[in-house]
Amino acid sequence: MEKREGNIKFKLFGTLRLNYRPSEGEIFIAEPITLAQLLKELAKKYAGIQEKLLEEEKLRPGVVILVNGKNVLHLQGLNTEIEPGDTVVIFPPGAGG
């Protein structure tokens, strides 16, 4: 794979959008990273976000994370590779009625 550097776009929705500002942005990476690594980078900016999304090093039930419109549960979960130019959308567990 060719090494590229650039930005990953991210967007937070639901309660994450209410609790963390700005609720979207970009993170610069020097090479492709995994979703788990991206979440660690987001935790540097948004204290407590990992606890809202992860449980025992797995995604919490109900968390939906899309990379370029594809659910990571149908890709490689936390090992999904993210490259510069990708967009990551994060939905926390939700409840409805």
Domain assignment of residue 1, yes or no: no
Domain assignment of residue 97, yes or no: no
Domain assignment of residue 11, yes or no: yes
For residue range 56-69, what is the model confidence (pLDDT) as tens digits? 989 999 999 999 99
Nearest alpha-carbon partner for 6 in 82, 88, 89, 90: 82
Total domains, the chain: 1
Q: Which domain holds residue 48?
A: 6-91
**For each of the chain's 97 residues, which pLDDT tens digit applies?**
456 789 999 999 999 999 999 999 999 999 999 999 999 999 999 999 999 999 998 999 999 999 999 999 999 999 999 999 999 999 998 755 4
Average pLDDT, the chain: 92
Domain assignment of residue 36, yes or no: yes
Check which CATH number belongs to the domain holding 13 and give it: 3.10.20.30
- Close Cβ partners of 48 (under 8 Å, ≥ 6 residues apart): none
23 — alpha (psi -120 to 50), left (phi > 0) or beta? alpha
